[in-house]
Amino acid sequence: MDGDDTRRLLRRIDDYVAGLFAPPDEALGAALRESEREGLPSINVSATEGKLLQMLVEISGTRRILEIGTLGGYSAIHFARALPDGGTVLSLELDEHHAEVARRNVEGAGLSGKVEVRVGDARRSLERLVEDGEGPFDLIFIDADKEGYPEYLDWSLRLSRPGTLILGDNAIREGSVIDPDDPTSHAVREFNEKLAEEPRLSAIVLPLIRDRIDGLAIARVTE
> How would residue 215 be classed by pLDDT, with cut points 50, 70 and 90?
very high
At 129 the three-state DSSP class reads: helix
pLDDT at 67 over 80: yes
Share of the chain above pLDDT 90, in %: 81
Q: What is the mean pLDDT of the chain?
A: 94
Stretch 38-45: mean pLDDT, rounded? 92
Query: Buried (b) or exposed (e) across 175-189, using 16+ Cβ within 10 A?
Result: eebeeeeeeebbbbb
Rounded CA separation 184/18 (Å): 30
The CA-atom distances, in angstroms, between 193 and each of 100, 150, 177, 201, 214 are 35, 9, 11, 12, 16
pLDDT, tens digit (0-9, with 9 covering 90-100), for 139-165 = 999 999 999 999 999 999 999 999 999
pLDDT at 221 over 90: yes
Q: What is the pLDDT of residue 1?
A: 59
Rounded CA separation 201/10 (Å): 31
pLDDT, tens digit (0-9, with 9 covering 90-100), for 163-198 = 999 999 999 987 778 887 777 789 999 999 999 999
* CATH level 2 (architecture), domain 3-221: 3-Layer(aba) Sandwich (3.40)
Stretch 98-121: mean pLDDT, rounded? 97
> How would residue 209 be classed by pLDDT, with cut points 50, 70 and 90?
confident
Rounded CA separation 128/133 (Å): 8
Stretch 28-41: mean pLDDT, rounded? 95
